[in-house]
Amino acid sequence: MPAIDSALLEYATAAQKVYLNAIAEHGSKGAAAKALGRNQRSLERSIASLYREAVRRGYSPEHDQTHPCPDTQQIKGVSTQYGPDGEILSQWVKTSAKQEQLETVLREFAEGLVDDVKGRAKPVKCPATDSANALTVYPMGDPHIGMFAWNQDAGNDYDLSIATDENRAATDRLARCAPRTRDALIINLGDYFHADNMESRTAKSGHVLDVDTRITKVVRVGVDLMRYKIEAALKIHERVQVRNAVGNHDELLSSMLSLILEAYYSKEPRVKVETSPRAVWYHRFGKCLIGVTHGDRIKLEDLNGVMAVDAAEDWGKTEHRYWYTGHIHHRKMLELRGCVVESFRSLVAKDAYADSHGYRAGRDMCCIVLDKDHGEVERHRIDISMLKAA
């Protein structure tokens, strides 16, 4: 039975600890993967990622590096002074946080998760639906999963547990009042995740973010919440399409979310997950044309022209054209030449930054019903006060 370096457990995730113990018990990575019922390639990649994380944190005994740094740091350089007999006289360890390597860790995490969840969605019985002439759209304004707020400096508390409870409750309420149309479209309008890196800063502006716990845990909670919404839709709709817009808070993780969901539902023909990394996306339903973008890159006043150029053929064949956007967290609607542009509220609470800058937008979630010939015909809205009163 091979021995494992117990020091590695300090750098291992819960899954990696299980892998290490299984390798020690069964004698090889292949045998461990078989015993656990896991993909061997995924296990091997996870263990390789563990070794890289240990080295990044300063643990590499074969190179005389045994002084680890915090998990928010990585080794920038090590200088070791040896004595005449090879003994270590002194050692200097320099650390820093490097975005490129942190992104690599996240990519490896997502790739391993994709392997683990591929095709694992359990089938949901296809419901009887009322209409093929209408589409139910579930727009999600800036969920910011992983955001942390403390009532003493933000005016309210918010964390992963609260986000889970409120998003599930809103999903349940909307599912009870939404019509049983054949088709449903779930749109995450961007900034699904509050932070895209382990530094808890926005990538472009460097704005410091208040984040609840480790990013890998945030991703798991976010994936579970999206699965909850998809499976709620599968119970009342025959076909469900999912689009995750790229946000300014989660340019990397938004794509990972789509790839993970695509893998999870790869054997469920009733679910289609869009994985294009483009900042804009279009969907046509009868005489209706929907454009989706986060809202941080193109001025809202210019979106009608963008749609007319990008989707010229569909523009000419439709009468009811809509842009659904997020980013600003408050309700805004513009009726431009040829289309209506709408920004949606978020269900997320204020953080300390929003509170100190005077942002006081309402919090809600809604679903919209589009008739293929007549455009929007009904809308159902769930306010945060309704969830708190329940």
The helix (run of H) or strand (run of E) holding residue 265 is none
In a domain, 246, yes or no: yes
pLDDT, greater one: 201 or 171: 171
The answer to the question of residue 111 being in a domain is no
Give a yes or no: residue 328 inside a domain. Answer: yes
Please report which confidence band the pLDDT of residue 40 belongs to, taking 50, 70 and 90 as the band edges: confident
- Whole-angstrom Cα distance, residue 324 to residue 69? 44
Task: Identify the pLDDT of residue 1.
Answer: 43
Mean pLDDT of 183-200: 91
The separation between CA 185 and the C-alpha centre of its own chain, rounded to angstroms, equals 17
pLDDT above 90 covers what percent of the chain? 60
Non-local CB neighbours of 60 within 8 Å, separated by 6+ positions: 54
What digits encode the pLDDT tens for the residues 238-259?
999 999 999 999 988 998 899 9
Specify if 39 maps to a domain: no
Cite the beta strand spans of the chain per DSSP E: 59-60, 65-66, 74-82, 88-96, 131-140, 181-188, 239-244, 271-274, 281-285, 288-292, 320-325, 332-336, 339-343, 364-371, 375-383
Q: Phi, psi at residue 358, to the nearest 5°?
A: 85, 15
Domain tally for the chain? 1
Asked if 158 and 147 touch (Cβ cutoff 8 Å), the reply is yes
Residues 6+ apart with CB under 8 A from 78: 58, 63, 65, 91, 92, 93, 94
Task: Please indicate, yes or no, if residue 34 is contained in any of the structural domains.
Answer: no
Q: Which two tokens stand for residue 222?
A: 């976010």
90 pLDDT band, cuts 50/70/90, is: low
What b/e string do you get for 279-291 counting C-beta neighbours within 10 Å, with b at 16 or more? bbbbbbbbbbbbb
**Is 343 part of a structural domain of the chain?**
yes
- Is residue 231 pLDDT above 90, yes or no? yes
Residue 278 lies in a domain: yes
pTM (two decimals): 0.74
Reported as a single tens digit per residue, the pLDDT across 145-189 is 999 999 999 999 999 999 999 999 999 999 999 999 999 999 999
Per-residue pLDDT band for 213 (boundaries 50, 70, 90) equals confident
Helix axes 160-177 and 215-234, enclosed angle (nearest 10) = 10
State the CATH number of the domain containing residue 249: 3.60.21.10
State the pLDDT confidence band at 130, using cuts at 50, 70 and 90. confident
Note the pLDDT tens digit of each residue in 41-88: 888 888 888 888 787 777 877 666 666 655 545 555 556 665 677 665
Tell me if 72 is assigned to some domain: no
Contacts of 106 (CB under 8 A, 6+ apart): 197, 198, 215, 252, 253, 256
102 or 264, greater pLDDT: 264
Q: What is the pLDDT of residue 65?
A: 65
| Mean pLDDT for the stretch of residues 373-389 | 97
Looking at residue 48, its pLDDT comes to 86
Domain limits for position 349: 122-389
